[in-house]
Amino acid sequence: MTEAQAAPGGVIDILDLHDPVLSDLQRAALANTVVPPLEEEAVLEQARKATGLSDFGEPDFRERLRLWLKCAADDEQLSNVGKAGVYGLAVRAATNRLYVEDLVRRHPQILDLPIDRPLAIAGLPRSGTTHLQNFLAADPQLRSLPYWEAIRPFAAADEIAKPGETDPRWLKCAAEWERADAMMPISKAMHPFDPEHISEDIELQNLNFSSYHIEFISGRSPVWRDYYFAHDQAPTYRYMKKVLQALDFTTGGGRRWLLKCPQHMEQLKAFNSVFPDATLVINHRDPVASIQSAITGNCYRARLRRTVVQPDETAEYWIDRYERLLRACVRDRDTIASDQAMDVYFHELMADPMTQVEAIYRKAGLLIDAALRERWRAFMADNPRGKHGQVRYDLRRDFGLTPEEIRARFQFYMDRFPVRVEVR
């Protein structure tokens, strides 16, 4: 293998993190990707042409859109693929925003629909949030958002499925996933994005152009990060609620939403102000275990998204970013009422998932019956941990760091939450 070596047991060791050995597909992408105009009007005009609509609603989002694009344009080490990624994210968000605004204009009663007692998962990336969310999504009591729907929540005129046909949006997503998997085959071992995979609701926050998604797309974006933290995020959660209301209107409501995003962990007050009757499940894990995954994944993706792979700068940025997230969580955790929040620890979730899930359901007032238990057993059988392989992480080899020096930055978090040390 050019990128990695597969070891026994499905372990994937990325051997070319510092000096990538590119596949033919990766070389072609870097050579042939043309940078779109990173300009506000270019994004909005493409969205108008795609939808035939023109009303984007309140214009305050434009400032944030301009900053997204400026950050991409000013980043000299963001490759054409990376710049095109930011542009594409902006077009997708603007397009979906047009559909929301048009739907609400024609059906203003949408804004009166309740989003009743959502169950929301927050927590560090790689702390079991994705596994837990997809596990819970097997419950028909809950309304979740598969990835194919998250990126195209409202069907265009040519995307309306006829009776008995597969939704065209699913087909488009499946084709995109196949191309992405061929381009970056190790990514699915870190975070799959196949069509049926349950998505984070960050996709819905993007419609207001204010989430930390651009930091992941770019690899790092300090100017956007500082802007984001300097502004109240409650308006973005209000817009996210608006999108959920529109989805309930178009697809039928009546079920409680299952939401999930690590970003909620640093926005507990903003989230709770918009969803005051939500049950929050907050996943915790040794931050070193999460960070080593995040920085390894960022460096792997950097072979396409950035012109130079810089492990040292990647580690510095994301260790700082994690510290900001966890300090906000420690600061605000006790502002959430105890009967509406539950802390879940990774080592306990992995050792005995059903005990943790049963506790979550008691907290949320949800029922578990024999049929649901069977659905969960089927999910576990079909989705064992490491289904797509497990990446081997090596902080010392790849980043010149020890677990102890990273963990020292997070003593404040480990003093507050009794996570188990995993990486030594």
Tokens of 365: 């007032």
> Which tops the pLDDT comparison, 46 or 5?
46
Backbone φ, ψ for residue 270 (5° rounding): -65, -45
Its pTM stands at: 0.94
Tokens of 39: 């300009």
Give the torsion sign (CA, 214, 219, 223, 226).
Answer: positive
Write the pLDDT tens digit of every residue in 336-375.
999 999 999 999 998 998 999 999 999 999 999 999 999 9
- How far is 50 from 149, CA to CA, in rounded Å? 17
Write the pLDDT tens digit of every residue in 134-143.
899 999 999 9
- Mean pLDDT on 84-100: 97
In the DSSP assignment, the letter for residue 221 is -
pLDDT score of 8: 42
Backbone φ, ψ for residue 4 (5° rounding): -155, 170
Please give the C-alpha separations between residue 276 and each of 96, 194, 268, 367, in angstroms, as whole numbers: 26, 32, 11, 21
Residue 63 has pLDDT above 80, yes or no: yes
- How far is 108 from 104, CA to CA, in rounded Å? 5
In the DSSP assignment, the letter for residue 5 is E
CATH class for domain 4-416? alpha beta
Pair 180, 197: CB distance under 8 Å: no
Sorted by sequence, the CB contacts under 8 Å of residue 261 that are 6+ apart come out as 121, 122, 200, 201, 202, 205
Tokens of 65: 């859109």
Round to the nearest angstrom and report the end-to-end CA distance of the chain. Answer: 29
Mean pLDDT computed over every residue of the chain: 93
Taking the domains of the chain in order of start, what are their residue ranges? 4-416
Pair 303, 287: CB distance under 8 Å: no
pLDDT score of 129: 87
Write the pLDDT tens digit of every residue in 195-216.
999 999 999 999 999 999 999 9
Sorted by sequence, the CB contacts under 8 Å of residue 269 that are 6+ apart come out as 234, 332, 335
- How far is 17 from 244, CA to CA, in rounded Å? 39
- How far is 120 from 142, CA to CA, in rounded Å? 11
Helix (H, G, I), strand (E, B) or coil at 4: strand
Sorted by sequence, the CB contacts under 8 Å of residue 379 that are 6+ apart come out as 134, 135, 138
Residue 283's beta-bridge partner residues? Answer: 123, 344
Query: Count of CB atoms within 10 A of residue 61's CB?
Result: 20
* Exposure string over 223-235, b if 16+ CB within 10 A, otherwise e: ebbebbeeeebeb
Contacts 24+ apart (CB under 8 A), 241-245: 241/115, 241/274, 241/275, 242/100, 242/104, 242/110, 242/111, 243/96, 243/100, 243/153, 243/204, 243/207, 244/115, 244/204, 245/110, 245/111, 245/113, 245/115
Sorted by sequence, the CB contacts under 8 Å of residue 137 that are 6+ apart come out as 144, 198, 258
In the DSSP assignment, the letter for residue 195 is T
Percent of the chain with pLDDT over 70: 97
Pair 44, 87: CB distance under 8 Å: no
pLDDT score of 387: 67
Helix (H, G, I), strand (E, B) or coil at 73: helix
Q: Give the containing element (helix H, strand E) for 328.
A: helix 311-332
Least confident of 114-123, 280-289, 371-380: 371-380
